[in-house]
C-alpha cells in the first residue's frame, strides 16, 4: 500500500484538526491546541537549539533552518525569542485580544515579537500548504521566508527551489503523517550540491517513518532514532481518539505505554549525510 494511503488510514484515528490550520492568525489554532495541551514544539526546542548551534559551529556562519509544516511559525517563535508554549498560549488565547481583527492581531504580533530579544541567529524558513499561516509568519517576522505549498500534491516551483538551496537543517514537529517521502523526494534536488541539510523530525510513532528513511537513504543519508526517548505531543482529544490510536499501534505491534496513559507520543529521528554522521546522536539530541 502506498504511504499516502497508509497515513490517511492512520490519520483517520486522530482527531481532525485541519480546520484550524487555515485561519489568518493563530488564535483559533491555539485555543484548540490548548484543550489538548499540545506541547511537542517545546520538547523539540532543546534538540533543535543544539543542532543549530552545532551546525553553526561547523559552518562558522549563521544557519538556515527550514520548518516543514511550520503553520504560523510556532517553532520559529520558540527558537528565535526563547519563549515557551505557555507564553504563546497566554498571548493567543488572551480574551483582551479577542476583538482584534486578523490584521490588527498580525500588526500587534509583529510589534510584540520584534520587541523581544533574539535568542538564536538562525534564519528560519517555513513550508506549509496554508497560505494564511505562511503570510502571518512572514508578516510578523517569525519566518524569514515562507513557502505556501503542498508537496504531496504539487511540484516545487523554481522560486521555492531557490529558497531551499541554502538550507542547513530541515526540522518538523507534528507534521510527518501529513508529509510523506513524496515531499522529501521533491525537496532534495533543490538543496545545494555537496551540502545536503541535516533533517530532524519528531514523528508520532503510529506513523511509519521507514519510507522517509528509505527515500533519504537513496541520497546518501543515514537516519538514527533517539532510542529510549518518548516525547509527549499532546493529550488525546477524546476516549474515542485514544482507542483508535491504540488500535493502530497494536496492529503494528508497537509499544503503546505512553498512549495508554492518555498522550500521543512522538519519537525523534535525525537524518544526516553519511559522511557527517560522526558525532553520536545522543550528544546532539540534548533533551
Ligand atoms: C499539527 S500541525 C503542526 C504545526 C507546527 N509544526 C507545530 O508543531 O505547531 C500540522 C501542520 O502540518 C501542515 N501540513 C498539512 N499537510 C502538509 C503538507 N502536505 N506539507 C507540509 N505541511 C503540511 C498543516 O497545515 C499544519 O500546519
User: Best of 69, 124, 135, 173 to mutate for ligand 1, by most ligand atoms within 8 A of CB?
Assistant: 69
The mean pLDDT of 53-66, rounded to a whole number, is 96
Domain limits of the chain?
3-275
- d(C-alpha 63, C-alpha 171), whole Å: 12
How far does the centroid of ligand 1 lie from the alpha carbon of residue 278, in Å? 31
**Angstrom distance (rounded) from CA 142 to CA 165:** 20
pLDDT at 284: 92
The residue among 177, 182, 185, 186 whose CA lies nearest residue 209 is 177
In this predicted structure, the answer to whether residue 1 has a pLDDT above a threshold of 70 is no
Average pLDDT score, the chain = 95
Q: Which fold has domain 3-275?
A: Rossmann fold (3.40.50)
Grid coordinates given for 39: 506541547
Query: What spacing in Å lies between the alpha carbon of 234 and ligand 1's midpoint?
Result: 15
Is the distance from the beta carbon of residue 173 to the nearest atom of ligand 1 less than 6 Å?
Answer: yes
pLDDT of residue 10: 82
Regarding the beta carbon of 71 and ligand 1, being less than 6 Å apart is answered yes
Instruction: Assess whether the C-beta atom of 32 lies below 6 angstroms from ligand 1.
Output: no
Contact 265, 233 (CB under 8 A): yes
pLDDT tens, residue by residue, 176-196: 999 999 999 999 999 988 899
What's residue 16's pLDDT? 79
Flag the least confident range among 6-15, 88-97, 199-208: 6-15
175 lines ligand 1 (CB under 6 A): yes
Cβ of residue 152 lying under 6 Å from some atom of ligand 1: yes
Q: Is the pLDDT of residue 34 over 80?
A: yes
Instruction: Choose the residue to mutate in 128, 153, 173 for probing ligand 1, maximizing ligand atoms within 8 Å of C-beta.
Output: 128
Query: Strand, coil or helix: what is 183?
Result: helix
E strand residue ranges, the chain:
64-68, 123-128, 145-148, 169-173, 198-204, 221-225, 231-235, 263-273
For atom 2 of ligand 1, the residue with the nearest CA is: 174
Per-residue pLDDT reduced to its tens digit, 93-119? 999 999 999 999 999 999 999 999 999
Indicate which residue's Cα is closest to atom 22 of ligand 1.
69
Q: Does residue 112's CB lie within 6 angstroms of at least one atom of ligand 1?
A: no
Residues 198 and 270 sit within 8 Å (Cβ to Cβ): yes
Confidence of residue 4 (pLDDT cuts 50, 70, 90): low
Does any ligand 1 atom lie closer than 6 A to the CB of residue 41? yes
Pocket of ligand 1 contains residue 20 by CB under 6 Å = no
The answer on pLDDT for 18 being more than 80 is no
CB 249 within 8 A of CB 256: yes
Q: Write down the pLDDT at residue 6.
A: 78
Global confidence as pTM:
0.96
Amino acid at each position: 500500500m502506498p504511504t499516502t494511503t497508509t497515513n490517511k488510514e492512520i490519520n483517520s484515528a486522530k482527531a481532525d484538526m485541519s480546520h484550524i490550520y487555515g485561519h489568518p492568525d493563530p488564535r483559533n489554532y491555539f485555543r484548540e491546541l490548548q484543550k489538548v495541551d499540545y506541547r511537542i514544539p517545546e520538547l523539540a526546542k532543546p534538540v533543535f537549539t543544539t543542532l543549530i548551534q552545532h551546525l553553526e559551529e561547523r559552518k562558522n556562519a549563521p544557519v538556515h533552518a527550514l520548518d516543514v509544516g511550520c503553520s504560523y511559525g510556532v517553532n520559529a517563535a520558540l527558537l528565535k525569542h526563547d519563549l515557551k508554549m505557555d507564553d504563546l498560549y497566554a498571548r493567543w488565547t488572551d480574551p483582551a485580544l479577542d476583538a482584534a481583527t486578523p490584521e490588527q492581531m498580525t500588526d500587534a504580533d509583529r510589534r510584540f515579537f520584534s520587541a523581544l530579544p533574539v535568542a538564536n541567529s538562525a534564519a528560519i524558513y517555513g513550508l506549509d500548504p496554508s497560505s494564511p499561516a505562511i503570510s502571518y509568519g512572514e508578516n510578523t517576522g517569525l519566518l524569514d521566508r515562507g513557502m505556501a505549498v503542498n508537496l504531496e500534491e504539487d511540484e516545487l516551483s523554481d522560486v521555492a527551489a531557490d529558497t531551499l538551496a541554502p538550507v542547513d537543517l530541515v526540522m518538523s514537529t507534528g507534521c510527518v503523517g501529513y508529509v510523506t517521502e513524496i515531499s522529501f523526494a521533491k525537496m532534495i534536488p533543490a538543496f545545494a550540491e555537496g551540502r545536503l541539510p541535516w533533517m530532524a523530525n519528531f514523528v508520532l510513532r503510529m506513523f511509519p517513518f521507514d519510507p522517509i528513511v528509505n527515500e533519504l537513504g537513496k541520497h546518501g543519508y543515514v537516519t538514527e532514532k533517539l532510542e529510549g526517548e518518548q516525547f509527549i505531543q499532546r493529550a488525546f482529544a477524546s476516549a474515542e481518539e485514544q482507542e483508535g490510536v491504540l488500535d493502530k499501534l497494536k496492529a503494528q505491534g508497537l509499544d503503546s505505554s505512553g498512549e495508554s496513559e492518555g498522550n500521543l507520543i512522538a519519537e525523534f529521528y535525525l537524518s544526516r549525510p553519511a559522511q557527517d554522521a560522526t558525532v553520536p546522536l545522543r550528544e546532539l539530541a540534548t533533551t
